[in-house]
A = this chain, B = another copy of it.
Amino acid sequence: MQNFEFYNPVRVVFGPGEMNRLGELASRHGKKALLVKSTGPLEKLGIYKRAQDLMEQAGLTVVSLEGVEANPKLASVNEGIRLCSENEVDIVIAVGGGSPIDCAKAIAMGAVDTGDVWDFFTHKRTPEGSLPIGTVSTIAATGAEMSMHCVITNEETGHKYATHFEYHLPKFSIIDAELHKSVPRFLTACGMVDAITHAGENYFAGDKNTPLTDRIAEGVITTVMESEGILDDLENVNLRNNLAWAATMGINGITDLGRGAFEYGAHIIEHALSGKFDVTHGAGLAVVHPAWLYYRWEQDPEKFKQFERRVFGIEGSGREGIDALQQKYLDWGMPGSLKELDIEESSFNDIADIVVHDPDTFISDKQIVIDVLNRCL
Q: Which residue numbers of A lie inside 8 Å of B, CB to CB?
A: 1-18, 209, 211-213, 215-216, 218-220, 222-223, 226, 238, 241-242, 245-246, 249, 254, 257-258
Contact = CB atoms under 8 A, between A and B. Distances in A.
- Across chains A and B, which 8 residue pairs bring their CB atoms closest together, nearest first? A3-B15, A215-B219, A9-B9, A7-B11, A6-B12, A1-B241, A212-B223, A211-B223
Given A4-B14, A5-B12, 16 more contacts: A3-B15, A3-B16, A3-B17, A4-B15, A6-B11, A6-B12, A7-B10, A8-B9, A209-B238, A211-B226, A212-B220, A212-B242, A213-B245, A215-B216, A215-B222, A254-B254
Contact of A212 (B2, B4, B249): B249
A219 B223 contact: no
Contacts of A2: 15
17 contacts: A1-B241, A2-B15, A3-B14, A3-B15, A6-B11, A7-B10, A7-B12, A8-B8, A8-B9, A14-B258, A211-B242, A215-B215, A215-B216, A215-B219, A216-B216, A219-B219, A245-B258
Nearest to A10: B7
How many copies of the shown chain assemble into the complex?
Answer: 2
Contact of A5 (B7, B11, B222, B245): B11
B226 A1 contact: no
A1 B211 contact: no
A212 B246 contact: yes
A68 to B, nearest CB: 27
Contacts of A249: 212
A242 B222 CA distance: 22
Contacts of A219: 211-212, 215-216, 218-219
A249 B215 CA distance: 12
A215 B212 contact: no
Contact of A242 (B1, B15, B241): B1
A211 B220 CA distance: 9
A1 B223 contact: no
Contacts of A4: 12, 14-15
Nearest to A239: B209
A18 B258 CA distance: 14
A306 to B, nearest CB: 13
Contacts of A15: 1-4
Question: Could you say which of A8, A15, A215 has the most chain B C-beta atoms within 10 Å of its C-beta?
Answer: A215
A12 B6 CA distance: 5
Contacts of A218: 215, 219
A145 to B, nearest CB: 12
A215 B199 CA distance: 14
A312 to B, nearest CB: 15
Question: Could you say which of A12, A16, A218, A246 has the most chain B C-beta atoms within 10 Å of its C-beta?
Answer: A12
B9 A7 contact: yes
A42 to B, nearest CB: 22
Contact of A245 (B1, B7, B245): B1
A17 to B, nearest CB: 7
Given A219-B212, A242-B211, A242-B212, A5 B14 contact: yes
A140 B16 CA distance: 36
Nearest to A11: B7
